[in-house]
Structure 1
């Protein structure tokens, strides 16, 4: 994309400079422009950032595509039904995914810019100078306020022998035009879980290797249920590992590790690294500008999105906090408003919904049981298996559960955690319940439509004090 700033602004001075042209950068630039600011939007690499190009959009498109093959395999759970489906052209699926990415990048980013005459897009890598101005190529961009929204990149662990392996990350894995026979996925977080299931459902023999298990920060009941679902699907999960080294054996990648003191050897045709993401800060010269970072390189910010340097804000993955596209955009809007209007708004993630698009889907909002106890609450919990949810029974798919966290004395809901085939579409109801300060009695008394997954929230709320197995349909 060409630099359109020269024709619009020849003195390189702006009210606001935004570094990063992904979802957070666009949110910040548009918000400030709508408030009357003249904005320099500085982008490096492909416009649009992680989500549309290599993250949310391509992964979810591929998840949906291979879901059809898996659904056909599971059709026999209904008496008298048989179905078949297969991946006949993986390269065609990859190409279709890329077409969607290209179309959305154009519609949501490239074609949006002309609508904002006060946003000047500048291509190039930005770095800070000591006076707080920005060097972009051979140009110096000056602005009294700067928002950093440069995102993150995949983390590469320090394991002997890894530098000799032609490994994949979540981006390159979904760009391959040929399926491997077997795949080793290192990491049990949300990226590893989603990508592993995509390839397993496409017919690849998948093994997940991880130190801490699947979704280690989730409620233990949720992690256990997902691990069992993966095992039932044929996805091997080797957790509790300590890694020794990698080596190449012919066309095979070999990981030497230990599990409970016993040596383990894992082999696969391809290796996918899914060991988290690290903030993109190394090229910004933050030390020159006196901008503090944490141990993982994330920019330290306060609730108003301010960094340690006056006038410089940061949002999204570059902070290492809440690495979700919607939280990046939310934080960017706050940063822009504060930069232009006096730091009156504070970041609030207390009712932030989070989703893992595995199958069954994992969704959560609010506190975990451990977090609630650490916060000083006398905690009471309700755990409802999906075998008590009529929607799941009708679908003959009772994989999963719903767990609610509440304060025992006040009955106020503190957190909700769902693992269910359609769990993602239910979490916003729980988020709104937490936002409104509802008790579990309040939630249990609400009217919910029968034979929906979200009705499980009502049943789980009733389970705090009732045995739902003894209730009739729609009782209570």
Structure 2
């Protein structure tokens, strides 16, 4: 059965964070919206990304806390058995709850329709439309004044001999296993790989991490990478950096990996997880038909206003090739809707965009590295504070980590903050506000901070520019 739908102000392809933010912004303007989703509504974050991974990480951390209780005098480490199928089932229940509360029920409440099918552009540059192959059969033609591409990204694997034939886990399928593996090799030492490696290791899997670049967390400050490698090795996770995956074989017991440089020539494991990044999802959209340009990685090329090379078509979120964070996607979705439908002419400032890797301790950063400051021609000054000087870390009996402050040496203005610590996400939020406000190191050093919080590390790090914190009394006074 073929149907036609027209008269929409905005047609959105995708149903993740960018898509929903745009649809909400549009309906709040009184506009008529339709959304097309080929799979499960809600996009990456709630279904296979942030929500399920953080739920499982929290469970793994609870188990690890029991095993690490012996660091406190008077407590004894305790072994906590893992009921892995129940753990996955609990994760799935939480995902279903949040998918309903934050996505499908919201669409019903705001009153826009979600069409379940696969969309592709048709028509011409001047008169674009969508052909939708409906999931339940038939086709539908959708016409709108403006279109938003919000199809997100998907896990990407490098072209390694034998990899496709052998098969492998991705960040999605790893969280759908029904049996906890005895051993696993994680290829990729950035955020996703680090989170999943620690997750499985803390549940009892023997884990090795292989990273092609010369350090874990290779895009963070070198001090952060070094501190984090100590965390992993301290928890029994084998780390192989400067190691490229060269070939993969699979037999009944598991995988044999050939690795060049930085590791034994061969690694064996029951499971193989590839966490080497994500690529925008644009295949099959027929973008050429309507004059929408794409970049080298398949990303939709947009201007600062998120308009594509077709003035009626916009893109937001991972598919537009920017920072792959759900909060960026949401901000871009709202912006695209405002610009398309209200001529708002808005742009986004990414200067103080924070990021967090949700390991334990967590890694977080905002602003520039010292190398970036120097490259920008700014005279740089920086200090690094180990957590052994932070009272809260001492009370927690866990001083793994540090805070690094990067500043303009001439003005004292804070330009970057880099943290590895429990609560790093909360610390970096305060740092984000400080950078946004243009605060100096001196202002940060004299700001009010509650005693025995991890956020006090930010103030103490600022004080290291003018004092020896080892000689200070309590309360970072």
- TM-score greater than 0.5 by the shorter chain: yes
User: Which residue of the other structure, out of 116, 123, 138, is the alignment partner of 1:123?
Assistant: 116
- In 2, distance between residues paired with 1:310 and 1:65? 47
**Which segments of 5 or more consecutive residues in structure 2 lack a partner in the other structure?**
134-138
Retained in 1: the 8 A contact 2:155–2:275?
Answer: yes
Which residue does 1:242 correspond to in 2?
244
Retained in 1: the 8 A contact 2:456–2:476?
Answer: no
User: Which residue of the other structure, out of 206, 230, 234, is the alignment partner of 1:232?
Assistant: 234
Which residue does 2:147 correspond to in 1?
146
1:167-197 Cα deviation digits (max 9, x unpaired): 1111111111111110010111111000111
Q: CA shift at 1:372, angstroms? A: 1.6
Retained in 2: the 8 A contact 1:191–1:274?
Answer: yes
Q: CA shift at 1:236, angstroms? A: 0.6
Q: CA shift at 1:263, angstroms? A: 6.5
Retained in 2: the 8 A contact 1:161–1:247?
Answer: yes
User: Which residue of the other structure, out of 132, 138, 143, is the alignment partner of 1:136?
Assistant: 132
Q: CA shift at 1:83, angstroms? A: 3.4
Retained in 2: the 8 A contact 1:305–1:347?
Answer: no
Which residue does 1:431 correspond to in 2?
432
TM-score normalised over the length of structure 1: 0.95
Give SS of 2:256's match: strand
Report the aligned-residue RMSD.
1.4
Which residue does 1:56 correspond to in 2?
50
- In 2, distance between residues paired with 1:78 and 1:218? 31
Q: CA shift at 1:17, angstroms? A: 0.9
**Which segments of 5 or more consecutive residues in structure 1 lack a partner in the other structure?**
1-5
Retained in 1: the 8 A contact 2:216–2:225?
Answer: yes
1:331-374 Cα deviation digits (max 9, x unpaired): 11011100111141002111111100011101111111122222
User: Which residue of the other structure, out of 71, 76, 93, is the alignment partner of 1:82?
Assistant: 76
Give SS of 1:222's match: helix
Give SS of 1:142's match: strand
**1:333 has 2:339 as partner:** no
1:186-226 Cα deviation digits (max 9, x unpaired): 11111100011110000000001110131111111111111
Give SS of 1:197's match: helix
1:107-157 Cα deviation digits (max 9, x unpaired): 11111112112x222111111123321111222211121111101110021
Which residue does 2:359 correspond to in 1?
358
Q: CA shift at 1:86, angstroms? A: 1.7
Which residue does 1:3 correspond to in 2?
none
- In 2, distance between residues paired with 1:321 and 1:469? 41
- In 2, distance between residues paired with 1:232 and 1:385? 17
TM-score normalised over the length of structure 2: 0.95
Which residue does 1:322 correspond to in 2?
323
Which residue does 1:168 correspond to in 2?
169
**1:264 has 2:265 as partner:** yes
1:211-256 Cα deviation digits (max 9, x unpaired): 0131111111111111110000000111101232111243220111
Retained in 2: the 8 A contact 1:418–1:427?
Answer: yes
Retained in 2: the 8 A contact 1:21–1:44?
Answer: no
Which residue does 1:474 correspond to in 2?
475
Retained in 2: the 8 A contact 1:304–1:343?
Answer: no
- In 2, distance between residues paired with 1:368 and 1:301? 27
* Paired positions, count: 466
Q: CA shift at 1:18, angstroms? A: 1.0
User: Which residue of the other structure, out of 54, 57, 65, is the alignment partner of 2:59?
Assistant: 65
Which residue does 1:392 correspond to in 2?
393
- In 2, distance between residues paired with 1:173 and 1:463? 43
